[in-house]
Amino acid sequence: MRDEQAADPEVKEPRCRLAEEVHVHLVARRRNCLVAREEQEVTSDDHDQADPRHVVLKEQEDHGGVDHQPVGQRVEDTAEVRFHVPAPREEAVDLVGDAGDTEDDAGGPAVAAIRGQHQRDEGGDQGKPRDRERIRKLLQSRRNGAGRHKCGKDTPVAETLSLPGFVDAHSHGFQRALRGRSGGADFWAWRDLMLAEAEGQTPELVRREYVQVYRELRAAGYTAVGEFHYLGFDEALAAVDAAEEAGIRIVLLLAAYGRGGLQRLRQESVAEYLRQVEDLRGRGIPVGVAPHSVRACPEDWLEEIGRYAASERLPLHVHADEQAREVEECLAEHGIRPIELLDRTGCLTERTTVVHATHADGAELDLLARAGARICACLTTEADLGDGFMPVERVCTRGIGICIGSDSNIRIDPLEELRELEGIARRQTGRRNVISTETLLCFGADEGAGSLGLESWDDVKVDLSHPALHGVEDVFDALVAGCGADVFLEA
């Protein structure tokens, strides 16, 4: 049975301390920084040698959490610990971290994690952004009362509030044209429609249409985008030009396509693909490598791309575990599941972002946690395509970083993506405030920047006079809970 663990016999009381020989740390998104105010006492006697520690934030009843495992029987995860349930008048678990720690690793996840035998790369990733403390410092000041904004007719406030911009870690710009097309009974039928749209793309069309898409992203509060691109090399250059005109930072995630799909999507060899990546880098274009999926890339391609990404310290993005059929096909071809294959081929590191992972099981989530990899959740697209629900709480309890993406761009609204992330967690657990506002905002900004390897990115301004913010007690909470992207002022 996968991810089957015995209940921890050492847990006696909430917040009780560990046995002396067990060393557990709660770390913030910078891996070596303890989470402020959340150093809960924990206990562990886990027999899973792969990852022998669990964090117990507060004793509570088992809600019967299970893995998303569409292939075969669903496996109970009874030993999986839950987030601290906020008591009345108590904040949700805050996983942002303590600003000012000089040992911060800006590449780490923004959620609770355990420092055990599977340490992250001790040297850290010096290429990761160091500017990504901005949202953490902003929210730290909020805890001290300096950043708490109250809006209302009788309360004089500044007209705008600046925030670090949101980062769209996964976009397919051309798919914006598919919005409103309801044809297709499932994901695979939709994919046929998508490929037909892809077939008609030209550099001129990409240049013209992507400007509009990127302007929409910019107006919605996204100030950086990772374009997961598989339409061709000249079209890739057109996308970069469009981003420059629209005023949004772009990291081009050039897709490797070895088989399947359309002929125009494929490279003749992995060597040709890597030559294209080198060409883009030679032009000064920020890039990441992107094996499209385990469906599109043979195992030897994955191995070569994994080696290249490691040697060049580049971001690596890949679709995985989006659909049950994808998992079944991977099992049939390789005898293991998609994320397991990524791990076996060297594609799973702290610079890896797995897109979707809606059907990842417990063993695969453990692999992501040990590697320090992230998941990019594209909630509005996943809902539209019937992908399923990401196991949000189970991802977070493992310390896996989450970023967001607009993906098919059927909706362009980072607040909606974050709200749906928390909404899924609430539906899965039957609780409110599963993830704190601070952490959600970090998912929307910091984690996306880390996923793309960005050093810096623009801020956005919140219109505090917007009707959605009238009379609210706290702007940050109100943004995530009830605002749309129209609350942001265009640059």
Contacts of 159 (CB under 8 A, 6+ apart): 463, 464, 465
Q: Is residue 319 among the annotated active site residues?
A: no
- Among positive and negative, which fits the CA dihedral 71, 77, 80, 82? positive
Distance CA 457, CA 239 (A): 18
Element (H, E) at 443: helix 437-444
Q: Number of helices (H) and strands (E), helices first, in the chain? A: 15, 11
Q: Find out whether 201 and 178 touch, Cβ atoms under 8 Å.
A: no
List the structure tokens of 147. Answer: 């950043």
Q: Find out whether 353 and 315 touch, Cβ atoms under 8 Å.
A: yes
| Count of Cβ atoms closer than 10 Å to residue 148 Cβ | 14
Distance CA 246, CA 218 (A): 8
DSSP string of 280-305?
HHHTT--EEEEE--TTTS-HHHHHHH
- Which of the residues 343, 407, 413, 446 is marked catalytic? 407
Q: Find out whether 109 and 83 touch, Cβ atoms under 8 Å.
A: no
List the structure tokens of 32. Answer: 């070596």
Q: Find out whether 302 and 347 touch, Cβ atoms under 8 Å.
A: yes
CA 426 vs CA 281, 435, 477: distances in Å: 42, 9, 16
Give backbone dihedrals phi and psi of 226, rounded to 5 degrees, phi first.
-100, 110
Percent helix / strand / coil, the chain, rounded to 5: 35, 15, 50
Q: Is residue 407 among the annotated active site residues?
A: yes
Q: Find out whether 304 and 297 touch, Cβ atoms under 8 Å.
A: no
- Which of the residues 54, 149, 356, 359 is marked catalytic? 356
Active site residues: 356, 407
